[in-house]
Amino acid sequence: MRSSAKDMEIMKTNGKTYLRAAGFAALGFAICCAAPSLRADGNRKAVASPKPVYPQMAKDMRLHGAVKIEVVIAPNGQVRETKALGGHPVLVQAALAAVKDWKFEAGSSESIQVIEFKFE
């Protein structure tokens, strides 16, 4: 990663001098230490991936679009945790219900993966 002069700009607050880069480095370190057992690049293959049911309310409202769901996958391949990252709330509920039944190949540790569902 390249640093620019602006990134290294010295800011003065109440007579104290801080490097903006030091703040970013500390934040990065804190994020890395907060979840040491999770892999952000988890690309495990799904071995069971039931499709979401298109909600009747969404059909009636003619809702279309994509839903992104972040899943935490346990070492045994079970979905341990889910979090909606975007999409219409009616479609999000259908996607969350479906992804909880997904199964992934086993891994050595927990991993995080983002799954996108397209409702058309």
Digit-coded pLDDT (tens) for 67-110: 999 999 999 999 999 999 999 999 999 999 999 999 999 999 99
pTM of the model: 0.63
* Domains by residue range for the chain, with CATH: 1-34 (no CATH), 46-119 (3.30.2420.10)
d(CA 95, CA 42): 20
The residue to which tokens 């996108």 are assigned? 116
- For residue range 22-81, list pLDDT tens digits in order: 444 443 433 333 333 334 445 899 999 999 999 999 999 999 999 999 999 999 999 999
Q: Which of 68, 73, 76 is nearest to 100 (CA)?
A: 73
Looking at residue 99, its pLDDT comes to 96
